[in-house]
Each structure stands twice: as structure tokens, then as C-alpha cells.
Structure 1
Amino acid sequence: MSDATQARAGKIRGALKRYQVMAIITSSFLLLLTIVTLVKYIGDWAFDWVNEGFLSVALTIGIVHGWIYVVYLLTCLDLWTKMKWSFGRLVYMALGGVIPVLGFFVEAKLARDVKNGLES
């Protein structure tokens, strides 16, 4: 393997690691946000329960997830450009941060694809 190929593989591995970390964090916050939102709306609908403290926690989680999602998108873009994938793959990666639980599956599949690509 040439030095240029090894350098490219190293950059890809770094981008993959950053993507994996952000995918797990983003997916975890999205899952937490989904649970909090469900509790908020079900509590309000079924039990006429409104708690200002809980609402502020839900809002804070939503804001934090939004900022984390921006960083996640940057890591998606970084990995996507290094791997030279199709635009559809970038959309698939971006959806992993907004559809609950999907991010965990997307991360696992892409990590497998990248590692298989680097081995061949």
C-alpha cells in the first residue's frame, strides 16, 4: 500500500470515528427527546398534567439536540466527502439524526461499509 493510500485510509478512519461518536450522541439525544415529548403530550392529554419544570427540561433537550445535530451533519459531510459516496447516502446519513432509533442502525451499517471498503 502506498503512502498516499495509507494517508487517505487514516483520514477516512478518523472521519469514521468522529461520525460514530456523533451518531451515538445524536441518536441518544433524539431518543431522549422522543421519550420526553411523548411523556409531555400523553401526560397532558390523558391526565391533564402540565408541569412547567418538565416543559423547560423538554425544551432544553430539544435545543441541545438541535445543536448536536448540526455537529452531526458536519461529521456526516466530512465522512461522505472522504468516501465519495452518492448524494442519496448523505441524505440517508442525515435522516439518521431526525428519525428516532434509525441513527443507531445507520451508524452500524456505514461503519461496516467503510471498514469493508478499506480492507479491499
Structure 2
Amino acid sequence: MKAALNAYKVIATIVGCLLIVLVVIGVPLEFLSADGSGAKSAGNFLTEYVGIAHGWLYMVYLVTTFVLSRRARWDVPFTLVTLICGTIPFASFWAELRAIRHTQAKHPEPVSA
């Protein structure tokens, strides 16, 4: 359980950070900057490469979250909310904290310290 929870913590944080960089920095730079500007180029770079990285890592997040949900015996609605929150900027961090607290509360021995 501890390994699954730690893997979830790591991938949820990475996916959440990449999503914020993509949505808060990359997309506005790409679509709000003048054509041919350095900001437009930076936005194109961020949306292309960070977007691809986020997409692949989100798949890892889905699998990791599902594995943790089965080991921690989460109910289906809790699991679905946690999975969906990985697609919403800033909500992913709330879902991560919620999932960690929920898991530690239900299984204090295997995941403490």
C-alpha cells in the first residue's frame, strides 16, 4: 500500500504541475501573443511538448490512481472524482490531498510515516 500511495503522490504532483504550466502559461502565450514574437514561439513550444508530456503522464496517473484505489478499497464515486480531477488545473492538488488523507485514515498502519 505504501508504495502505491507514494507512486500516486509523485505522479499526481507531476501531472498537476504540468497541467498548470500548460494551461496558465503555454496556452495564453500561444494564443494571446503576436504572430512571430518570442512569446508566441515559447507558447508553441510549451503547448506542444508540455502538452504531449502531460498527455502521456496522465495515462500513467490513471493507472497509478486505479491501482491505489483497488488496494485502498476506495468506492467507485471517490475513485471517479479523483481520476477526473487530474484533468482540472489546481483541482488535481485538492484531489491528491483528499486521496492521501482518505487512504491514510482508512489504512493508518501500512501508510504511516
Q: TM-score range by the shorter chain?
A: 0.7 to 0.9
Identical amino acids, percent of aligned pairs: 25
Aligned to 1:41: 31
Consecutive unaligned residues of structure 1, counting only runs of 5 or more, are 1-11, 44-48
Aligned to 1:50: 35
Aligned to 2:80: 91
Equivalent residue for 2:4, pick from 4, 15, 29: 15
C-alpha offsets along residues 53-107 of structure 1, whole Å, 9 cap, x if unaligned? 3213321110010001011111101101112222212211112221001111111
CA RMSD after TM alignment: 1.6
- Conserved in 2, the CA contact under 8 Å of 1:27 and 1:96? no
Equivalent residue for 2:90, pick from 94, 98, 101: 101
- Conserved in 1, the CA contact under 8 Å of 2:20 and 2:90? yes
Q: TM-score when scaled to structure 2?
A: 0.83
Equivalent residue for 1:24, pick from 2, 8, 13: 13
* Higher relative contact order, structure no. (Cα contacts within 8 Å, ≥ 6 residues apart): 1
Q: TM-score when scaled to structure 1?
A: 0.79
Consecutive unaligned residues of structure 2, counting only runs of 5 or more, are none
